[in-house]
Amino acid sequence: MSAAWKPSMPFVLRPSYPTYKSPYGPIYKASPNFHGIDARQALRFGGTIAAFTGVAGVFCLYFFSEVPRVRKDIMQKIPVVGDLYVKEIPASDNPF
């Protein structure tokens, strides 16, 4: 075995002249992007993330709806269903 490792191919140098571009070939240009994500993908991902965030927010509200502070400050102020979250304790259950 040799002591020094030698690559099988030397460094590739680009030619100093421009490459030929056929007038009959496809016309294309690079779209602006940020780390490979262009505007179309960002809008699609943004919509998906917004939908999942909305669903997670609704889940959290209903999951924590029995916490008294959440019920009083948030859930009772919802216009249509706010009356469903009013919880009155009867006088017979009050220890004081």
Count how many domains the chain has.
1
Q: Report the pLDDT value the prediction gives residue 60, as an integer from 0 to 100.
A: 94
Residue 77 domain-assigned? yes
pLDDT in single tens digits along all 96 residues of the chain: 556 666 666 666 777 777 788 888 888 888 888 888 889 999 999 999 999 999 999 999 889 988 989 888 988 888 998 888 888 888 888 777
User: How many residues in the chain?
Assistant: 96
Q: Report the pLDDT value the prediction gives residue 2, as an integer from 0 to 100.
A: 56
**DSSP 3-state assignment of 54?**
helix
Residue 32 domain-assigned? no
Q: Report the pLDDT value the prediction gives residue 90, as an integer from 0 to 100.
A: 85
Residue 76 domain-assigned? yes
Residue 23 domain-assigned? no
Residue 1 domain-assigned? no
Q: Print the domain residue range for 67.
A: 39-93
Burial of 70 per CB tally in 10 Å (0-12, 13-18, 19+): middle
Residue 26 domain-assigned? no
* Residue matched to tokens 């009867």: 90
Q: Report the pLDDT value the prediction gives residue 47, as an integer from 0 to 100.
A: 95
Q: Report the pLDDT value the prediction gives residue 1, as an integer from 0 to 100.
A: 54
Residue 48 domain-assigned? yes
Residue 84 domain-assigned? yes
